[in-house]
Amino acid sequence: MESLITTYRLSLDMAPDAFVRSFHDKINWNNRLLGLVGQKGVGKSTLILQHIKRHDDVSKSLYVQADDFYFAGHTLVDLARDFMKNGGQRLYIDEIHKYKGWSTEIKMIYDQLPMLSVVYSGSSILDIKKGSKADLSRRAVEYTIPGLSFREYLNLTQGWNLAEATLNDILAGKVDFPFGKHRPLVYYKQYLRAGYYPYFAEPDFRIKLNQAITATVEDDIPKYADMPVASAVKLKRLMYVLAKSVPFKPNYSNLSRDLEIGRNQLPDYIAYLEKSGLLNALPAKGSGDAILNKIEKIYLNNSNIAYAVADSNPDEGTIRETMFLTWMREKFRVTASDISDFEVDGRTFVVGGKSKGKKQILTADEGYIVADNMEYAVGNKIPIWMFGFLY
């Protein structure tokens, strides 16, 4: 265990501490079994280490990565027991999806070591719970961590402390932005290319993002779903086709034929890609999110992915719709609209450029135009960047 403690203390020393996401305070860290899930690169590890530094007794806490070489000869249960015997109280296990049979051992730790609190983090693919041998639903409380909102990006890059806005505030054109010498569109364009992931300022960001996408498709999903090599290759081909076609209006028969993926397998493949944080599925109005044949469109999860995988600049209209859906679905259930682009709680939204007209929302009970290249709201025409203040 000595090697684990050394690695843990080094990780604490290296963890950035100047900026802590506001999402931290939305988590009930007092839960005895807590799960933090999300796609690669959204900052799960950093958030855990920041919490330990600021709120825990460092000597009674331990942070480990589930793929550490230590676990080649030891189990999670072994570690938990030894840690507790030596006065440990809070065990943090990162990248838990890389540990085979993790859910069974976490259940054993929870049931057999009631004095020990456990926080685990991993890929959002864990949320599917497919293939788990132990049901943690009655024990664990899980939070899904999104990438940076536009508001968080501004706070991180500019040193500001801008507040979240409610949807009603945004629809009234009221957000906490320091107009004057600062112009929102300048920052917004930067955010679209590299701003959703907290490591956006690192050298070779685009290369690292591509590597994270590849690792998710080639490693995380296949391992978790126990896919054979041939199926993993098909999953990668599916991601490539969808990335080149978004927004993709599903034709599952054609897709199944072209990629040689069984029609019965295709729903699982798309669900894996969505749960892993690479795609967003827009359900048809009145349908459930999990009903595949009622998905209206499929988008990439965020604009950073679009720029990373594209051979040329992505379509501006697609980028607008992608980010509107990404931000809104963090707070609301978003569906396709029968008369326009999106519907949220009975409100209709059409997403377009600055010159977008009202034709698509004329018959809506309450309709709004979400427009690009605008700084201020004018009537029911709302700048798209303002929706980046929802969280």
Helices 44-55 and 2-14, packing angle to 10 deg: 90
Report domain extents, the chain. 2-144, 152-389
Question: What is the pLDDT confidence band of residue 245, given thresholds at 50, 70 and 90?
Answer: confident
**What is the second-level CATH architecture of the domain 2-144?**
3-Layer(aba) Sandwich (3.40)
pLDDT for the residue 297: 94
Amino acid identity of 3?
Answer: S
**Residues 275-321 pLDDT 10s:** 999 999 999 987 554 444 588 999 999 999 999 988 788 999 999 99
Q: How confident is the model at residue 226 (pLDDT cuts 50, 70, 90)?
A: confident
Report the mean per-residue pLDDT for the chain: 92
**pLDDT above 70 as % of the chain:** 96
DSSP 368: E
pLDDT band at 356 (very low <50, low <70, confident <90, very high): confident
pLDDT tens column, 62-87:
999 999 999 999 999 999 999 999 99
Q: What does the pLDDT average to over 140-162?
A: 96
SS3 state at 320? helix
Contact (Cβ atoms closer than 8 angstroms) between residue 169 and residue 382: no
Predicted confidence band of residue 385 (pLDDT cuts 50, 70, 90)? very high
Whole-prediction pTM value? 0.92
Return the closest-CA partner of residue 9 out of 43, 49, 67: 49
For residue 159, what pLDDT band results from cuts at 50, 70 and 90? very high
CA count, 13 A, side-chain hemisphere, 207: 3
Confidence of residue 131 (pLDDT cuts 50, 70, 90): very low
The helix (run of H) or strand (run of E) holding residue 122 is: strand 117-122
H or E stretch covering 144: strand 141-144
Q: Answer whether residue 222 shows pLDDT above 50.
A: yes
pLDDT at 263: 86
Q: Determine the pLDDT at residue 287.
A: 59
At 132 the three-state DSSP class reads coil
